[in-house]
Amino acid sequence: MDDIDRRILDILQRDAKISQARIAETVGLTTPSVNERIKKLETRGFIRRFTALLDPRLVGIPLVAHVDVLLEHPRFERPFLEEIEALLDVQECYAISGDFGYRLKIRARDVEHLEAILREKVQTLRGVVRTRVELSLSIKKDSTLLPLMEGA
């Protein structure tokens, strides 16, 4: 990946709907060259997918909870992760250091909905022995941008 690829990725992560002609104009290439570079970046895995970022509040899912999960034994990790992957309520899952093994980012409509997700979907997974929940009171920064360019 060279500096032009980085510039293309930076442009796309800020606005995935921008035309390839506009990208070409910005980076000093032809539109077919930009198209070829984007295809290569996708093939090589730098671009995982193109998607629309929705406003969680406007679609009725404003609550954010971070849930730490402790598993009884490492043998439960693979099935746990497979189940978590399938749960749309869980946006992110991290392996973490400390007393718990995993941290989940869960979105919910309200506290009652969160409680149902935990009770019916997360805490019932085989091997889960303990969870700890922290609610986000408000979001001060929510970004998907990666710092690809100097000074970004």
Residue 92 has pLDDT above 90, yes or no: yes
Contact 105, 122 (CB under 8 A): no
Instruction: Flag whether 57 is in a domain.
Output: no
Which residues lie closer than 8 Å to 116 by C-beta, 6 or more apart? none
For position 16, which CATH number holds? 1.10.10.10
39, 68: one domain: no
71, 103: one domain: yes
**Structural domain for 29, as ranges:** 3-43
Angle between helices 31-43 and 20-27 (to 10 degrees): 100
Instruction: Flag whether 102 is in a domain.
Output: yes
105, 74: one domain: yes
For position 73, which CATH number holds? 3.30.70.920
If pLDDT is split at 50, 70 and 90, which confidence band does 151 have?
low
What pTM does this model have?
0.87
Residue 152 has pLDDT above 60, yes or no: no
Instruction: Flag whether 148 is in a domain.
Output: no
Instruction: Flag whether 122 is in a domain.
Output: yes
77, 125: one domain: yes
Q: What is the pLDDT of residue 32?
A: 97
Between strands 90-95 and 128-135, the pairing is unpaired
21, 75: one domain: no
Contact 67, 118 (CB under 8 A): yes
Instruction: Flag whether 28 is in a domain.
Output: yes
The two three-digit tokens of residue 32, written as one number? 């077919």
If one counts the domains in the chain, the total is 2
CB atoms under 10 Å from CB of 88, counted, come to: 7
H or E segment to which residue 126 belongs: none
H or E segment to which residue 106 belongs: strand 102-108
Whole-number average pLDDT of the chain: 96
Instruction: Flag whether 147 is in a domain.
Output: no
If pLDDT is split at 50, 70 and 90, which confidence band does 149 have?
confident
Instruction: Flag whether 9 is in a domain.
Output: yes
H or E segment to which residue 71 belongs: strand 63-71
31, 81: one domain: no
If pLDDT is split at 50, 70 and 90, which confidence band does 79 have?
very high
Instruction: Flag whether 107 is in a domain.
Output: yes
Model pLDDT for residues 36-52, shown as the tens digit of each residue: 999 999 999 999 999 99
Residue 7 has pLDDT above 80, yes or no: yes
Mean pLDDT score, 63-90: 97
Q: What is the pLDDT of residue 128?
A: 98
Edge-to-edge order in the sheet of strand 102-108: 90-95, 102-108, 63-71, 128-135
